[in-house]
Amino acid sequence: MINNIHISFDLDGTMIDSIPLMKLSWENVNEKLNLGIGWDAYRKNIGLPFSQICKNLGVEELEQEVCNMYFGFNQENIDKIKPMRGLSECIEWIKKNDFSWSIVTSKPKITTIPILELFDLKPDVLITADDIEKGKPHIDSAQLLTFQLDDKFDKIYYIGDTTIDHLFAINSGFEFIEFIEFNTLSMSQYILNNRSVISNLSDIKSII
């Protein structure tokens, strides 16, 4: 095991199970604004910055209204979010070993902070969509992360659940660990880059 490491996490779909709330939030927006864009179309864009999602779905002219409605619904129903398997054990292991750790998410701060408070998550560094110009898979978040870290690390791990996360790790020179909740194959299987796969966050203990 390399001692001088940093461990970074995606948030949605990795540390927390927010997919059910995302679905409800998007369906609420879709119905109230009569967009005619179903959940399946939105889900294909998860992991991208929200502005990019709006652009991909062809609703960039309504971005502010969609954003306010979507994230407002998120905030009002935060209790529907659940922790992923092994989250508490994983964080306790990180604390016990005094590892440096962070969260790099495509969520804005307004919805990220309440989630961190809800699950008592206190990363050394937090990077949200509000902090950078270009979100994952661009390297802006990685550059800001390394700038904010106090030390230089021999290796940085990035744990995520989407192909966007995988590409972000590759672009950033991080070692990727893929979190798959139900042991199902993901699009990352088609990326020719070695990676470890876990379905319980506490399993990183056997990898790092």
Q: What is the pLDDT of residue 153?
A: 93
Domain 5-17+84-206 has CATH 3.40.50.1000: yes
Residue 187 has pLDDT above 80, yes or no: no
pTM of the full predicted structure? 0.85
What is the tens place of the pLDDT at every residue in 57-82?
Answer: 999 999 999 999 999 999 999 999 99
- Measuring CA to CA, which residue among 193, 132, 168, 143 is closest to residue 9? 168
Show the CA angle centred on residue 68, arms to residues 134 and 160, nearest 5°: 45
Domain ranges of the chain: 5-17+84-206, 19-79
